[in-house]
Structure 1
Amino acid sequence: MDNITALGGDVYEIDTRMAGYAGITAGYLILGDRPCLVETGTSTSAPVVRDALASLGVGPNDLATVVVTHIHLDHAGGVGDMAAYFPQAQIVVHEKGARHLADPSRLMKSARMVWGDQLDTLFGELSPTDAERIVALGDTGAIDLGNGRTLASHYSPGHAKHHVGLIDSGTGDLYVGDAAGVYLPQTGDLRPATPPPDFDLQTALDSIALFQALGPQRLLFSHYGPVGAVQETLERSAEELRIWVDLTKQAHEMGMDLDHAVAMVRDRTRERYTALKAEDETAEHFELLSGAPSNVAGILHWLDKVSP
């Protein structure tokens, strides 16, 4: 299948084809003794992911674990569907996200407020997962991949209060979710992901520092793909956060409303990203994944809490 890439170490990247786009959201299959899917993608992508697993030899009763870095719908929207397709799989999530997977009604209601009619095309509906099948992680935890190989989870909020990073003992791969931002493989651009309501600068920087301390061999971005230049990329992700916060702070101090703040930050950061110079589909992808409106709104929300 053309949406599967072998990354070595029995790890496969699966393009979930979010909303029909390529290169937007990745899920990853670790194909050990106890096959594990990291990130499901959206509900509308669930059949794509299921078919990719089937083509890699993982049938309905073979998947041991589904783990999500956090419960935003582009990462975990397909959890209920995958739980139904793979009835033996345990569903692993941070304890702050567990109840929303069991009863997604509040999560879906707030998502509908943010996305409106776009919700159905972009994400679809997160269906509930039987609470008995959900394993809730604390600040650290470990998922058994079989043969002594584990996927260790590390609580890494800042982007979202239910976010974890996951490190594979077999490969040294670190699944960074959205805590290190959004990476665009076509151009090598990296930009923060700071949506409301949970963004907090120090917490986000602490999460990146934790990732550095774990000494991973490679970063696997949910958006999008593997990156080998670990320290350099994590340093860049901290720098990006500081730049976006500084610019949004200036707009906040000048009393700008959201639209004007977004326009200013977008204008002053544009030169940092090759993708935005292209004015093509790549630029559109970037905006969809790490939109300036959502980033600036998240930073303003945080600024209103810390310096009203």
Structure 2
Amino acid sequence: MDNITPLGGDVYEIDTRMAGYSGITAGYLILGDRPCLVETGTSTSAPIVRDAIASLGVGPDDLATVVVTHIHLDHAGGVGDIARFFPSAEIVVHEKGARHLADPSRLMASAKMVWGDRLDTLFGTLSPTDAARIRALDDTDTIDLGGGRTLSSHYSPGHAKHHVGLIDSETGDLYVGDAVGVYLPETGDLRPATPPPDFDLATALNSLELFRALSPQRLLFSHYGPVADVQSTLERSAEELRVWVDLTKRAHSEGMDLDHAVAMVAERTRERYRAHQIDEETSEKFELLSPVPFNVSGIMHWLDRSES
């Protein structure tokens, strides 16, 4: 299948083809004694992910584990569908996200408020997962991949309060979710993901420091793909966060409303990213992954909380 890329170490990147785009959201299959899927993608992507897993020789009863870095719909929206397709798999998520996978009603209502009519096209509907199949992770925890191989889970909030990073004991790969931001491989652009309501600058920077201390060999971005230049990428991520926060602070201190703040930050950051110089589709992809209005409103929300 043309949406599967072997990354070595029995790890396979699966392009989930979110919203019909390629190279926008990845799931990762780790083969071995206990096959494990990291990230499901959206509900609308679930059949694509299922077929990719099947093509790699993993049958309906063979998938042992499905783990998500956090419960946002581009990462975990397909959990209920994948759980149905693979009835023997344990569903693993941080304890702060577990109840929302069992009962997604509040999560879906919130997403509907944010995305409106685009919700169905972009994400579909997160189906409930039987609570008995869900394993809630502590702040540090371990997932058994079989044969002595493990994924170590590390609580890494800042982007979301239910976010974890996952490091593979065999490859040194660190699955970073959205904590390091959004990476566009065709341009090398890296941009933060700071949506409301959970963004917190100090917490996000602490999570990057935690990732640095784990000494990974490679970063595996959910958006999108592997990056081998670990330390400089983590440094860039911290710099990007500070740039966006500084610009939004300036808008906030000048009393700008959200629309004017978004316009200012978009203009001041545009030249930082090659995606906007290449073509309209690449720019559109980048904006879908890390929308300026979401980033700015998340930082504004944090600033308002900090002042109260």
2:303 aligned with 1:303? yes
Aligned residues: 308
Counterparts of residues 118-157 of structure 1 (less than 5 Å): 118-157=118-157
Identify the residue that residue 16 of structure 1 maps to in structure 2: 16
Alignment-mate amino acid for residue 276 of structure 2: L
In 2: Cα distance, 1:117 partner to 1:271 partner: 31
Identify the residue that residue 163 of structure 2 maps to in structure 1: 163
Q: Deviations over 1:122-173 (max 9, x none)?
A: 0000000000000000101100000000000000000000000000001000
Alignment-mate amino acid for residue 79 of structure 1: V
In 1: Cα distance, 2:168 partner to 2:69 partner: 13
Identify the residue that residue 234 of structure 1 maps to in structure 2: 234
Alignment-mate amino acid for residue 220 of structure 1: L
In 2: Cα distance, 1:178 partner to 1:17 partner: 18
In 2: Cα distance, 1:111 partner to 1:271 partner: 30
Q: The residue matched to 1:158 in structure 2 has which SS? A: coil
Identify the residue that residue 61 of structure 1 maps to in structure 2: 61
2:220 aligned with 1:220? yes
In 2: Cα distance, 1:202 partner to 1:134 partner: 30
Q: Deviations over 1:20-50 (max 9, x none)?
A: 1111100000001100000000000000000
In 1: Cα distance, 2:233 partner to 2:104 partner: 34
Identify the residue that residue 256 of structure 1 maps to in structure 2: 256
Q: Following TM superposition, by how much is the alpha carbon of 1:279 offset from its aligned partner in structure 2, in angstroms?
A: 3.9
In 1: Cα distance, 2:280 partner to 2:213 partner: 37
Identify the residue that residue 99 of structure 1 maps to in structure 2: 99
TM-score, length basis structure 2? 0.99
Identify the residue that residue 245 of structure 2 maps to in structure 1: 245
In 1: Cα distance, 2:279 partner to 2:294 partner: 20
In 1: Cα distance, 2:182 partner to 2:257 partner: 25
Q: Deviations over 1:272-299 (max 9, x none)?
A: 1111122421111000000100000000
Identify the residue that residue 178 of structure 1 maps to in structure 2: 178
In 2: Cα distance, 1:19 partner to 1:285 partner: 10
Q: Which deviates more from structure 2 when the two are superposed, residues 267-276 or residues 42-51? A: 267-276
Q: Give the superposed CA RMSD.
A: 0.6
Counterparts of residues 186-205 of structure 1 (less than 5 Å): 186-205=186-205
In 1: Cα distance, 2:175 partner to 2:270 partner: 27
2:79 aligned with 1:79? yes
Identify the residue that residue 44 of structure 1 maps to in structure 2: 44
Q: Following TM superposition, by how much is the alpha carbon of 1:271 offset from its aligned partner in structure 2, in angstroms?
A: 1.1
Q: Following TM superposition, by how much is the alpha carbon of 1:307 offset from its aligned partner in structure 2, in angstroms?
A: 2.1
In 2: Cα distance, 1:33 partner to 1:8 partner: 16
In 2: Cα distance, 1:191 partner to 1:19 partner: 20
Identical-pair percentage:
82
In 2: Cα distance, 1:23 partner to 1:136 partner: 30
In 2: Cα distance, 1:132 partner to 1:180 partner: 32
TM-score, length basis structure 1? 0.99
In 1: Cα distance, 2:156 partner to 2:241 partner: 15
In 2: Cα distance, 1:282 partner to 1:167 partner: 30
In 1: Cα distance, 2:277 partner to 2:263 partner: 16
Gaps of 5+ in 1: none
Q: The residue matched to 2:96 in structure 1 has which SS? A: helix
In 2: Cα distance, 1:275 partner to 1:115 partner: 23
Alignment-mate amino acid for residue 256 of structure 2: M
Alignment-mate amino acid for residue 225 of structure 2: G
Q: The residue matched to 1:196 in structure 2 has which SS? A: coil
In 2: Cα distance, 1:153 partner to 1:242 partner: 26
In 2: Cα distance, 1:46 partner to 1:11 partner: 19
Identify the residue that residue 287 of structure 2 maps to in structure 1: 287
Gaps of 5+ in 2: none
Identify the residue that residue 90 of structure 1 maps to in structure 2: 90
After superposing on structure 2, the runs of 4+ consecutive aligned residues of structure 1 that deviate more than 3 Å are none
